[in-house]
Amino acid sequence: MILVTGISGGLGGLIFRGLSAQDGLDVAGGTRSGDGAAARRIDFDDPASLAEGLRGVDVLVFVSAGYAEDDVVLARHGAVVDAAEAAGVRHVVYTSLARSGDLLTIALPHRWTEARLAAASFDVTILRNGLYAEVPAGLAAAAAASAAETGVFAAAFGAGRVSVVAKEDLAEVAARVAAETQRDLAAGHRGRHAGKTYELEGVDAIGGQDVAEVLSDALNRPVCYRPIPLSVAREALAGSGLEPYQITHTLSIFSNIGAGRLEAHGTDLTALLPAGPRAARDRIVQAAGESARRLVTSRT
291 pLDDT band, cuts 50/70/90, is confident
Strand extents, DSSP E, 151-192: 152-155, 161-165
141 pLDDT band, cuts 50/70/90, is confident
DSSP code for 39: S
The model carries a pTM of 0.94
Q: Taking the CB of residue 229, how many other CB atoms lie within 10 A of it?
A: 11
What pLDDT is stored for residue 117 in this prediction?
98
In CATH, what number does 134-163+203-265+278-298 get? 3.90.25.10
Query: pLDDT digits over 145-182, tens only?
Result: 899 999 999 999 999 999 999 999 999 999 999 999 99
Cβ-count burial 255-293 (b if 16+ within 10 Å, e if not): bbbbeebbbbeebbbeebbeeebbebbebbbbbbbebbe
Residues of each domain in the chain carrying CATH 3.40.50.720: 2-130+166-200
- Reported as type and span, the H/E element at residue 278 is none
Which strands form 204-207's sheet, in the order they lie side by side?
Answer: 131-132, 161-165, 204-207
Geometric angle at alpha carbon 149, from 143 and 152, rounded to 5°: 55
300 pLDDT band, cuts 50/70/90, is low
Strand extents, DSSP E, the chain: 2-4, 27-31, 40-41, 59-63, 91-97, 123-129, 131-132, 152-155, 161-165, 197-200, 204-207, 224-227
What pLDDT is stored for residue 145 in this prediction?
87
35 pLDDT band, cuts 50/70/90, is confident
288 pLDDT band, cuts 50/70/90, is confident
Query: pLDDT digits over 65-86, tens only?
Result: 878 999 999 999 999 999 999 9
Please, what sign has the CA dihedral across residues 211, 13, 181, 33? positive
Query: pLDDT digits over 216-249, tens only?
Result: 998 999 999 999 999 999 999 998 899 999 999 9
| 155/225 Cα distance (integer angstroms) | 8
- Reported as type and span, the H/E element at residue 143 is helix 134-150
Whether the CB-CB separation of 184 and 191 falls below 8 Å is answered with yes
What pLDDT is stored for residue 135 in this prediction?
86
What pLDDT is stored for residue 299 in this prediction?
62
The CATH number of domain 2-130+166-200, selected from 3.40.50.1360, 2.40.50.100, 3.90.180.10, 3.40.50.720:
3.40.50.720
* Euclidean distance between the first and the last CA atom of the chain, given in angstroms as a whole number: 54
Query: pLDDT digits over 240-276, tens only?
Result: 899 999 999 999 999 999 999 999 989 999 999 999 9
DSSP code for 122: S
Residues of each domain in the chain carrying CATH 3.90.25.10: 134-163+203-265+278-298
What is the arithmetic mean of pLDDT over 13-39? 92
What pLDDT is stored for residue 296 in this prediction?
64
Whether the CB-CB separation of 93 and 173 falls below 8 Å is answered with no
Rg of the Cα atoms in the chain: 20
Q: Tell me which residue of 165, 161, 76 sits closest to 128, measured CA to CA.
A: 165
Geometric angle at alpha carbon 133, from 104 and 268, rounded to 5°: 75
Geometric angle at alpha carbon 8, from 7 and 10, rounded to 5°: 85
What is the arithmetic mean of pLDDT over 102-111? 97
